[in-house]
Amino acid sequence: MYNVTYVFMNSDVSINLRINKKLSYMVDLAARINNTTKTNVIKAAIVKAFESDGRLVFALEQTWDFDEKERLKKLQAFDRSLLKYNEEEELHEAHTTEDK
């Protein structure tokens, strides 16, 4: 079993999320019943998903860094197949620049 510590900084990131009407209502209903916000319901669901899957916790522990460039380097070292094409290009360009 993994122990997970989550640190939510004040520098939250906004994302757009496309979900169907029923899921939207489910989030809204959960927020109303728990007297909280939809954002908090979604955050709690994400945390719960990580807590229930040791693979996700391990991946997070191996790759998380506050610095995005360091995060990409760690993700590349962890599992290169998880990188998106533009991230691979960014890392390649950074590596090429460092070699000069």
pLDDT attached to residue 24: 95
Which pLDDT tens digits describe the chain residue by residue (100 residues)? 445 455 555 677 888 889 999 999 999 999 999 999 999 999 999 999 998 999 999 999 999 999 999 999 999 999 999 999 999 999 988 878 776 6
pLDDT attached to residue 72: 95
Q: What is the 3-state secondary structure (H, E, C) of the chain?
A: CCCCCCCCCCCCCCCCCCCCHHHHHHHHHHHHHCCCCHHHHHHHHHHHHHHCCHHHHHHHHHHCCCCHHHHHHHHHHHCHHHCCHHHHHHHHHHHHHHHC
pLDDT attached to residue 2: 45
pLDDT 10s digits, 79-96 = 999 999 999 999 988 878
Averaged pLDDT of the chain:
88
pLDDT attached to residue 95: 78
